Amino acid sequence: MSVTVDDELWSAVGDPTRRRMLDLMLADGFGTATSLSDRLPVTRQAVAKHLGVLHRVGLVHATPSGRERRYEVDEEQLARAVAQLASVGASWDARLHRIKRIAEAIQRDREN
Amino acid sequence: MSVTVDDELWSAVGDPTRRRMLDLMLADGFGTATSLSDRLPVTRQAVAKHLGVLHRVGLVHATPSGRERRYEVDEEQLARAVAQLASVGASWDARLHRIKRIAEAIQRDREN
DNA sequence: CGCGACACGCAACCGATGGTTGCGCATAAC
DNA sequence: GTTATGCGCAACCATCGGTTGCGTGTCGCG
């Protein structure tokens, strides 16, 4: 069964830079465009765009604090994303195992 | 520690159309550009390009058969991709103790 | 208070990519 | 042998990740 997956969420998490941003924010508690870009090989503007994407799908939420905007991960939404990764992986896993069993069955048949 | 992930593999699997193609090929055993595009909302050429990508990262391999090219999933490579999905999810799980509980709740709730 | 430094947003631009249409060629089917 | 099917190549378009450049708001400190 083709696991119904929210492509928006998946593709938000699909970008390697965005994954590293999530990692950093999880590690530090929060992050700003500038602070994240300091620790990533991309410019502040690139980070800002990614934050926009993450915000749009609800993976982070922002709180303006003085002259900076602090972003922190929405844990529940990230959990939802993780669940989707797991669910797709599990679906493929199941199919692969079934195939393997069938292949083994065929192999056994041939030996008779 | 940011789990070192093969971005090539991930981004190959990251595209929703390619995921659906993999699903179809797993279900049917193999697929051609035309047969897949029949069951997808994109043209044969789009499918052909995706097959090129999947082939480049080793997720499928092709065998010419008459006037058509049959592609089938490389199970081992797909298993590798699945492992990476799991590993990223696991890393996030580990960072936020809370996440795992929520994810499990969602998993129980989900009906597919 | 005033001015420099810092963090941000907006806009233009560029290359890669997912998608399309159009065409030509080869192999199968009748 | 002609028609139909499946594929590859090429041009083109929109979107996206990334950059540079510039303008604006806020903080901090003489």
- Chain D: nucleotides under 7 Å from a protein CB? 5-11, 17-21, 25-27
pLDDT for residue B98 is more than 70: no
How many other CB atoms are found less than 10 A from the CB of residue B59? 25
pTM for the whole thing? 0.85
User: Which residues are CB-neighbours of B97 under 8 A, at least 6 positions away?
Assistant: none
How close is the nearest chain A Cα to the Cα of B29, in Å?
9
Q: Which residue, counting CA atoms, is nearest to the C1' of nucleotide C28?
A: B67
Please check whether residue A85 touches B, CB under 8 A.
yes
Nucleic strand C under 7 Å from the C-beta of B64: no
pLDDT score recorded for residue B36: 98
Please check whether residue B26 touches A, CB under 8 A.
yes
pLDDT score recorded for residue A5: 76
Distance of C1' in C2 from CA in A35, Å: 28
Residue given tokens 């058969």 in the structure block = B65
Among the partner-chain residues B7, B88, B102, the one whose CB lies closest to the CB of A85 is B88
Please check whether residue B102 touches A, CB under 8 A.
yes
How close is the nearest chain B Cα to the Cα of A100, in Å?
9
pLDDT score recorded for residue B3: 57
The one-letter amino acid code at B98 reads: R
Asked if A64 contacts A51 with a C-beta cutoff of 8 angstroms, the reply is: no
* CB-count burial class (<10 Å; 0-12, 13-18, 19+) for B107: middle
SS3 per-residue string spanning chain A: CCCCCCHHHHHHHHCHHHHHHHHHHHHHCCECHHHHHHCCCCCHHHHHHHHHHHHHCCCEEEEEECCEEEEEECHHHHHHHHHHHHHHHHHHHHHHHHHHHHHHHHHHHHCC
Nucleic strand C under 7 Å from the C-beta of B45: yes
Nucleotide nearest to B40 (CA to C1'): C19
pLDDT score recorded for residue B31: 97
Asked if B22 contacts B73 with a C-beta cutoff of 8 angstroms, the reply is: yes
Distance of C1' in D27 from CA in B94, Å: 37
pLDDT score recorded for residue B4: 64
pLDDT for residue B100 is more than 70: no
pLDDT in tens, B61-88: 999 999 999 999 999 999 999 999 999 9
How close is the nearest chain A Cα to the Cα of B19, in Å?
9
pLDDT score recorded for residue B2: 52
Half-sphere exposure in the Cβ direction for A92 (13 Å, CA): 28
pLDDT score recorded for residue A101: 81
Return per-residue pLDDT of chain A as tens, 112 residues: 555 677 889 999 999 999 999 999 999 999 999 999 999 999 999 999 999 999 999 999 999 999 999 999 999 999 999 999 999 999 999 998 887 788 788 888 878 6
Q: Do B10 and A14 touch (CB under 8 A)?
A: yes
A36 — phi, psi (to 5°)? -70, -40
